[in-house]
Structure 1
Amino acid sequence: MNEQAYHIIQQMTRRWKHRHALAFLLRVIAVSLPLVVIAVLIFSYPWWWVPLIVSGTTVLLRWWWPLPVVSEIEISSFLNHRYPELQESVQLLLVPPAELNHLQLMQRSVTAEKITQIGTPPEINASLKSALLVFFLTLSCTVLVFFSSRYFTKTSNGRTAVTPVVHAEKEVPPAGISSFKILVTPPAYTGKPQREENSFSLSVEDGSVVSWTIHSNGVPPALGFIFNNGIVSPLKPSADSLSWTFSKTLSRSGFYQVDLGGTLSSLYQLELIPDKAPVIQVLAPAQHSSFQPGVRPVLQVRTSVTDDYGIRSVQLVLTKASGKGEAVSFREEVMEFAHRTGTTREQMLIRQLDLWQMGMKAGDELYFYIRVMDNHGQESRSDMFFVSLPDTEELLSLSSLTSGVDQVPEYFRSQRQIILDTEKLLKEKGSIPVDSFRLRSNELGSDQKLLRLRYGKFLGEENESGIHTPDDGHDHAAEPPAYGDVQALMDQYAHKHDNAEDAGFFEPAQKAQLKAVLEEMWKSELKLRTYLPADALPFEYKALVLLKDLQQKSRAYVGKTSAQKATLNPDKRLSGDQSKIRRDPSSGKSEMETEPAASLRAAISIVENRKLGGTDAAVMEILRVAEQALGQAAIRDPAHYLTALSIMGEFRKGETTVSGQQVRQLQAALAAIIGQTVTSPAKRAATGGLADQYFNQLNKTR
């Protein structure tokens, strides 16, 4: 019996250890699985990331959730606490019988008999159950996220690749054509190889060369393409007249038809994918930056450049400004970026500039921008960035701070002189009497007060306190205030007629900085009045820096520009062609404002009536005008209007097989064209609001 009881304790110990180990393994899988799915399957990280993720998760959980120490002694203590009927005697089963006395042996026998009756404690499986719950919840969420990401990725890909409605239906080649082959050769700037298309409707890169090869069933009399501009391009036949070829470089969007011996096909779109200009994002430095005196001016320029096909060159264009006043000289320099990382389409570039090595000195300024050119020759430029090197000598000069105000103030000490006198007083502190030191410090405080009041006048402050006195030169109405009227009592001592916020010649940002200057002067004056010139010195310097910064902000850099004249076409000169000259919008409503918009609205109603089954031959002229408008819109945007143009052609032919969905699509296209016609800014003369009100008042009086 005693041996069986000891075996039960050993079995509980092993089972508890196994349950804890299995629970830890399930937690590792529960945490690692979503990370692996997100990293490898969704973001396409390489598979060698899997062991790294699992190892890192194991170490983290091992530290955060350590495995408990399970031994036979721990199990015996647990059983004593869990089952009172064992009488705190389970540990006797772990001791050899030879080491126990007679009373302990009797208790050991009773405990061994009772331990065989308790069964397996439910706490052994508690950690495993919680781990299983976490594992299944994580597994369910991971599966849901994975399939959701696949679905949304598929949906977004289908949304970004703009698929016209024409492609939704299976394309049927015209009768008499057995097969065709279309080769698209993208231009060199794209870096894409030649590809083969299996549809007459094409979406190709701008400047691509498209080659058609059409095989006919018989020998047609002629085979050609009719493009949207009315140009008919015949195809070149082979020796047996069964194979026809044609090549064309596409430079604009539109549509075309296949003319097979007088039989016209459906309309096929020609959509061009334009080459976008490079995108520049400057990561460092800020647009306005400066270096403090004593710091080596080393500037790091970091930028990110992206392009849809490829980047040819990235340059840093620098302009260094030196001198003062009318003697300012500019020197331009172009630099390449030293460090490049990334692909040809997306690059991270870094260039470090040592302004001293570039020949710049204190007081100079640097203006730069980034110029990027892609493989197609398109150029993009970033914003202008400004870097200044403060001049320590100029920093202590305030001569041009008030250049915008033509006033000659009375004599007062400058902030530079107050700083110099304060530093001189600190140097002589040990060699002069205390009374003399305090007197000079108080005098500097008075000078700081006069300077503060002088700059306060630029903000409209009349005196230090703003409290009315009888001899201040202002005539205020002396009316006795009513009893209990606190505001009337305060008005006797306040200048209500003047608002300091609205006075002066400065912008709100300049006023805010001048207020900061006055605040620093207040602090400096306080320290000087309390005989602490050493504590006043930082506030004096800060006030000086704010003043000089305000002076520098008034400067502006305007880059030199040159006239860029448009290239004249000699074929159009002296031809007298005025077809593309717009009418004067002030002469009244143009034709595009009246007839097409009214015809398109009438066409929507006609389409609605024909959808209900009505027929009327008198509407053909209106449908013809609507078809012309759809044709012009399809040339600009074939992906959205080409299908509506085909449906309108079926209406004009009297087809009765047009579905309700096609009718709604045609009506939506006509409504979109009406919106563009009505809201076009060139249709109406630009008049002011006052003129409109005057015109409306005239109409009311008639």
Structure 2
Amino acid sequence: MTHISPSRFSRPAQVRSLLNDALIYAPLAGFVFTTFAVLYPHMRTAIVLGGVGLYGAALLIEGLRLGRFNRDWVISALNEFYPDLEDSADLLFTPDANLNSLQVLQRSRLIERLPPATALREPWRWGTVIISTIVAILIVVAGLWASTLNDAGERRPAPKTSAISGPVKLAEARIDVTPPAYTGQTRHTESALDIKAPQGTRLVWRLRFAPETEAVDLVLLDGRKIALTRDNGMWTTQLTLDKSMLYRIVFKGMTGTVPLHRLEATPDLPPKVEVVTPDRSLSIVSEGQTVWPLVFAVSDDYGVNATAELRLTLAQGEGENITVREKVVTLTGSGSAREKRFATQLDIKGLGFAKGDDLIAQLTVRDNRVPSPQSVRSPSLILRWPSDLGNESTGLEGLARKTLPAYFRSQRQIIIDIEALLKEKKKLSPDAYLARSDSIGVDQRLLRLRYGQFLGESAEGEPENPTGDGEAHHANDGHDHGDDSSAAFGDGANITATYGHVHDEAEAATLLDPETRALLKKALDAMWQSELHLRQGRPDLALPYAYTALNYIKQVQQATRIFLSRVGPELPPIDDTRRMTGKREGIIGNRLSLDPVPGPDAPVVAAWSALAEVPGRPVDVPLGPLDTWIGANEARIGDPLALSAAIDAVRGDSACAKCRRTLRGLLWGVLAKPPAQVMRRDAATASGGRYLDALERQP
């Protein structure tokens, strides 16, 4: 027979004791702390947390006290309340190995007389619970009664002597500043009305006036008005600081000048990325190199995101046969929250990097701004593996590419070829279909470059002769090049005549009017789209753009050309009858009146000129355009709030000479500096300084 565990009797006793204490403490904690939270709303969070903490501490203490219900307590309670156990309850909880035969027999007799497991738990203490509830209610009633007396005292009209004592003044000011959570700055309270905080900060004003006033408004300089609400003798309102602004506190019955206060929002700057390794933007693969180390240093004013994206672009091929592959790798930074380093070792062979390829890396980092993080890209880093010049194409294929003449197909012929290719699509293999489409795309490119010369566009790739034969012109090539001996250095016409083919006459240079140039530009754009789809093997998508280009080319061909010839000036005929007479009647001056073009700082110049202290000049200053100019040029103004405050002072009192001088001085500082400035004279040297001093000492 095994012994009985003491927990059979101690656990019900512990549960009943814990429930009794919880019911006794609950009214005191609930009613009392709820009343305090209602009476003191500005401390509501602290009171609630304090009440919950005290209640939890009381339960924790009670839990520690439950340790008294141990084995000795169970034995003592059984022996005390149950005489049938003959003071031998300890035999019930003793192992068999520690008992003799007589004790085992006695324990078997005691088990038959054993009470139920719940016999030792204490009864419900309803009387104590009721008393605790009554005490809590009395405390609540007393607190509410005291609060009513205080409110009545505050609402009691002040004596007449107090009202006469002076005007309403700001007696107390508290501003709760709650920066955004991502900045890591703690919430704090300011007593000054001028606030400088991060952008997105939540501001809560709590103002008290002596004596009391009936209404208080928060008036922003841009015209917005926010009414404050009264709460237990304090006037409160809240605002989210999205941008820097000026404001006033205006209350009923206020007289005199209302001062301006500053709300300066500190913007969240984007992250800064610095390339640590490599030390140059273009790197050449060294012999035996297998990895490419990259290290970036990133810093931010509030915090850098723990991860960043490294975009890898692998460009393979030469000429027009270039393929591009992209891959994004996620990097994890190391370091502090505001300064991190992102490092990696790129396996260039694993990326498929080979001779003649370029590997481009660019890191994109973000900060922790909520809700929209700011992202910044690093400069592009290029790893180049130069191709082996000995492996260039040779033989018949290379010879054919160099000797083929430049051939330009017409746009109509390109359309015909595209339509023929679409009809034969089912008969061709995918490779043959792609090859023919790419060949037509090459013809479209050559035609686009040909028309692009009329708009001043340069040809793509390395310069080559128009005939495509790669040879220079000579005297017997069939073209009349003239005599080279008269060519002057820097003469564009002679250079063109010597090394090119001039098919237009110099006396009739063709000029395109703006409308014709616009049509030709549209035709080139359509050719570009046609070429793009043809090179990708999609002639069905290229055909509409080819037709569009043909339509614009027809309109260009139908446009009127303007021929300019070299003629002398056409002067009016001379009136011989007026010569040598000295008569000037009827002579009309030929001077043209030039109106000055208003510059970007015209409102600033106009206001600065109007603020000059000139006797007899009206005091009106054009401040409206100046406000608009400030809103559009805040980035270039060192302190826009100070300038807005000076404008407001002049607007309030246009005759204030000091205010006008202050505004005029600030306007001078924001005027754009002229591009050409007077060079300062060099400072005097040591010997020159002694010479000047000697001159000054001369009588």
Q: TM over 0.5: same fold?
A: no
Q: Shorter-chain-normalised TM-score: which range?
A: 0.3 to 0.5
Return the TM-score normalized by structure 1.
0.39
**Greater RCO, 1 or 2 (C-alpha within 8 Å, sep 6+):** 1
Return the TM-score normalized by structure 2.
0.40
For the pair shown, the structure with the greater C-alpha radius of gyration is 2
